[in-house]
Every structure is written in structure tokens, then in C-alpha cells.
Amino acid sequence: MKILITDGISKYGQEILSKAGIDFDIKHYELEELIKVIPEYEGILVRSATKVPREVIDAGKKLKLIARGGAGIDNIDHKYARSIGIPVLNTPGANSASVSELVFAHLFALARFIPQANITMRNSEWNKKAYKGIELAGKTIGIMGFGKIGQITAKMALGLDMKVLAFDIADIKTDLDVTMTSKEDVLKNSDFITLHVPKMAEPFITEKDINMMKDGVFIINCARGGVVDEKVLLDALNSDKVGGAGIDVWMEEPTKNIELISHPKVSATPHIGAATAEAQDRVGIEIANKIAETFQSL
């Protein structure tokens, strides 16, 4: 068996694949080249940088599996792959803690003006009086999507003495001190809103949703680009309806939305939610084991 790894894998993952007798090439290809080379392989492992549309799947005449190192599989035409008998593997929990920690990195950055203070100090400015922030303790955080990442985020928030409201389309039971409620209730009563929902055909947060939020609300998106419409968010930042936004994921990546990333009320990162050494190791180990087990069962 031989697989193509387009977006890298940790050394631990490589060792697991080698011990399982699976050969692999590690090289990134753009779409046109990927279509040309994929017929050589029985499997493909991607992260977020590589897309696996129907054209790639059809070209992969020997494909027996498609794997994604990470949670979301929206960059793979997974419905089509599964419809023709090709399993699609992923690692939904391996990077959860890393993503949750980035949520709070953005929250603290926004609440204490860290990006702005950093930039102005580098310009030899001492704007101490301009950066009167707010505390997170005692505030209400609304968590949209209460899967693994949402639940870890809730634990961290509770540790900071925050009140937690949560919404999920599934009927999730939890022992945490969290109020499970409606989307509308979360929108209306949260000081901070963090998104942990999959990408859908339409944005999860629309202009109507933002209008329901508190004035000055902070919005954090470490989920998927397009969960919040970027134009709607920019308009809300400019009108001061939204007091700040922490954004790790973008409608287009790399993003060309300079107006949004350079906005003074935005804390911006280039899709680094899972980019910790620990998460990369966990992802590599988990996906390599799943690939080995799947090949053995075929």
C-alpha cells in the first residue's frame, strides 16, 4: 500500500505508517498536478491546505481511503467518496484543546488591546491611558456548537469564573455548569460568542443574528471560514455593534481581506488553531493508526 501525504504528518505518524508496511510520499500538489499523480496511490492524507474534490477522487483509480488530519472534512467531497465506497477518516478530537486555547488567546488579546498595544509600542508610543480593557471573569460567554471543542472551551471559561451559555443542534447532556439554551438566547445574552460549528451552505451568523447581539459583543471564529460572513462582520465592526473579533479562519485562505485583518478591533491569525506541537503529534498518531487499521480491514 502507498499513500500520498500532501500537508505533512508528525514523525510519530510516519513511524506508525512505516511499521504497518505502508509506503508514503510527502509532497504538496496544487489541484491540476494532484489529479495527475493521484492514480499512483491507494490513499491520500490531507490537512486543511489540500482540497479533494470529485475530480481528484475520480482520478484516483486505486484509491481505497481518504484521510484528513483534523476535525473538519469540508475540504473533501466526503459524501461522494463514501457513496462510491471510499472511507473518509478524520481526527475530530485530537486538536480540540489547542483550538480552545486559541479562542482564549483571542479573547484576552481583544479584552486587553494586546495587538494594538504591541504595534504602537514598536512605534515608540506609550498609550497606557488608551488601553483600558475589560475582565473576562463574571462575563457571559456563548458557545455555539457544543461538541468536543465547545465543551473544552466551556471548562476553560468556567475556570475563569465566566458564565456559560451553549447551543447545539443536537440534544447534548452535560455535567458542566452550563446553560444549554436556544441560539437566540445565546445571541441576546452573551458578552462573548465563540463559534464551533461546521461550515454550511449559508453563514451560521447572519446580519439578523448580529443585530440580536448585545452592543459591543466580541465574536471569535476558530471554526471554519464562512461561518460568519466577512462583509457582515466588517460592517458590524465599523458600526461598533461588534466590539471586537478574533478570527483564525477565513472565507478564502490565504485571505486577501486586508480591510478585515488590519481592522483595529480584530485579532487575526492565519488558521493556526491546531498548530501546536502537541496537537500535531496527537493528530499524526491518531490518523496514522486509523489508516493502518483501515488498510488491514480491506
Question: Cβ distance 176 to 151 under 8 Å?
Answer: yes
Which of 47, 68, 106, 224 does the annotation list as catalytic? 224
Based on the residue annotation, tell me whether 252 is a catalytic residue of this protein. Answer: yes
Q: What residues are paired with 140 via a beta bridge? A: 163
Which of 78, 271, 282, 286 does the annotation list as catalytic? 271
Based on the residue annotation, tell me whether 32 is a catalytic residue of this protein. Answer: no
Which of 15, 33, 135, 252 does the annotation list as catalytic? 252
**Phi then psi for 34, rounded to 5 degrees?**
-60, -40
Rounded to an integer, what distance in angstroms lies between the CA atom of residue 186 and that of residue 202? 19
Rounded to an integer, what distance in angstroms lies between the CA atom of residue 178 and that of residue 226? 27
Rounded to an integer, what distance in angstroms lies between the CA atom of residue 185 and that of residue 272? 30
Buried-exposed string 186-210: b where 16+ CB fall within 10 A, e elsewhere: bbebbbbbbbbbebeeebbbeeebb
Based on the residue annotation, tell me whether 224 is a catalytic residue of this protein. Answer: yes
Which positions are catalytic?
224, 252, 271
